[in-house]
Amino acid sequence: MKLLHTADIHLREENEERWDALCGIIELGKKESIEAMIISGDLFDADIDALKLKGAMRELFTNVGYDIIIIPGNHDAKSYDDRAFFGASVKVLRSLEDRYETDDAVISGLPFKNIKEQEIYPILRNISDNLNGTKSNILMYHGELLDSYYSAHDFGNEGGSRYMPVRLDFFAELQFDYILAGHFHTNFSTIEFGKSGGTGYFVFPGSPVSVTKRETGKRKVNLLKTGGPPRELFIDSFFYEAINIKLDPFIEMDPVAAVKRRVDAADRKAEIILTVEGYLNSIKHGIDETKLNEELELLRQNNNIEEINFKAVDLSRILEDDIFKAFDAKLKAANFSSHEKTAVKEYFLKAMMESLS
């Protein structure tokens, strides 16, 4: 079975970028001739958004050429009551008994509920016991994986609470071959786990469109052919791109040119979060902190820059000091590697900064 897996689109009526991302994924599914699309929770940002968007959704989710299988997430847990209709191609897995079955795969779902770790294992065991080993067994799930090094920030705006947490060792004795998950926004992440009779895959595809500024970089979805490993696929949706520039006053390039070069190279679809740190030498380059700030604001006017973090500091007072210059000349002549010279120079700079205070 060939399918496309995503989650956490967080649709809102007033947010066009997220709607466009969904339309793009629907088209990608057609292009890839998939049999089903899996949306593992948080299709909507809130239940009210599901109400507002349902009409438009039906049209989008009709005649797509494949089925769309959805489970409720923590943000849209109450959006899918029994009488709700989201379009002819949509199948919502509302209960633990609900399944989607094809010739070679069985898809089960764990619709989001506010339950604890200890309560989840028996539920998973129950679903697994009713499966057989002849087909690929897929579980749709929305929540936290406790094994990995995720922080609360990775799940969008969720505060500190735990959302339906599981551990990988839950799955070692169960029959699931793929856990196609949602809830982890930051990036595409696949973890292999050992299970009786082979290898299983736990996949968080990451949000397919940046929902907060913490989700940086081009977004992805999971293209899966059962029997094989998950495959990450770039999509052409809105995203934030973090550009971090550390200015080096010993490089000949003008600091403004250094920043421009990086901003120019950014993806056109990206909204840039620009951080400029390091040091500048206003005497050597003729650009002081005030002038650099003006140049950054000019760049903001002509590019997709969402945020500027201006942290660079003018160190010309030290860099043009005779003591530093004499030290630098000796260092240049010394028999050190360039790596060592940089480190020594940084120590000396720090020592001189201390002596100023």
Binding mask 143-182 for Mn ion (x = CB under 5 A): -------------x--------------------------
Q: Which residue shows structure tokens 């679903």?
A: 127
- Cβ closer to Mn ion: 221 or 305? 221
Distance CA 186, CA 204 (A): 9
User: Minimum distance between the CB of residue 300 and Mn ion, rounded to whole angstroms?
Assistant: 30
- Cβ closer to Mn ion: 42 or 144? 42
- Cβ closer to Mn ion: 79 or 281? 79
Residue span binding Mn ion (CB under 5 A) among the ranges 7-15, 111-119, 194-202, 306-314: 7-15
Residue span binding Mn ion (CB under 5 A) among the ranges 36-44, 105-113, 166-174, 338-346: 36-44
Distance CA 320, CA 324 (A): 7
- Cβ closer to Mn ion: 74 or 89? 74
- Cβ closer to Mn ion: 46 or 258? 46
Q: What are phi and psi of 211, to 5 degrees?
A: -95, -40
User: Minimum distance between the CB of residue 207 and Mn ion, rounded to whole angstroms?
Assistant: 7
Name beta bridge partners: 9. none
Binding mask 106-145 for Mn ion (x = CB under 5 A): ----------------------------------------
Note whether 58 and 27 are within 8 A (CB). no
Instruction: Tell me, by CB under 5 A, how many residues bind Mn ion.
Output: 3
Q: Are strands 178-182 and 136-142 parallel, antiparallel or unpaired?
A: parallel
User: Minimum distance between the CB of residue 126 and Mn ion, rounded to whole angstroms?
Assistant: 26
- Cβ closer to Mn ion: 208 or 255? 208
H or E stretch covering 231? strand 231-234
Note whether 324 and 291 are within 8 A (CB). no
- Cβ closer to Mn ion: 8 or 67? 8
Residue span binding Mn ion (CB under 5 A) among the ranges 2-10, 263-271, 289-297, 309-317: 2-10
User: Per rule CB under 5 A, is residue 42 in the interface with Mn ion?
Assistant: yes
User: Minimum distance between the CB of residue 89 and Mn ion, rounded to whole angstroms?
Assistant: 23
Q: Please state, as a whole number, how many other Cβ atoms lie within 10 Å of the Cβ of residue 173.
A: 12
Distance CA 55, CA 347 (A): 64
Q: Which of 67, 87, 72 is nearest to 1 (CA)?
A: 67
User: Minimum distance between the CB of residue 215 and Mn ion, rounded to whole angstroms?
Assistant: 10
User: Minimum distance between the CB of residue 32 and Mn ion, rounded to whole angstroms?
Assistant: 24
- Cβ closer to Mn ion: 156 or 255? 156
User: Minimum distance between the CB of residue 160 and Mn ion, rounded to whole angstroms?
Assistant: 15
Q: Which of 146, 229, 150, 238 is nearest to 186 (CA)?
A: 150
User: Minimum distance between the CB of residue 157 and Mn ion, rounded to whole angstroms?
Assistant: 9
Q: Are strands 2-6 and 36-40 parallel, antiparallel or unpaired?
A: parallel
Distance CA 291, CA 295 (A): 6
Nearest-CB residue for Mn ion:
42
Distance CA 17, CA 4 (A): 20
Task: Name the site residues for Mn ion (rule: CB under 5 A).
Answer: 8, 42, 156
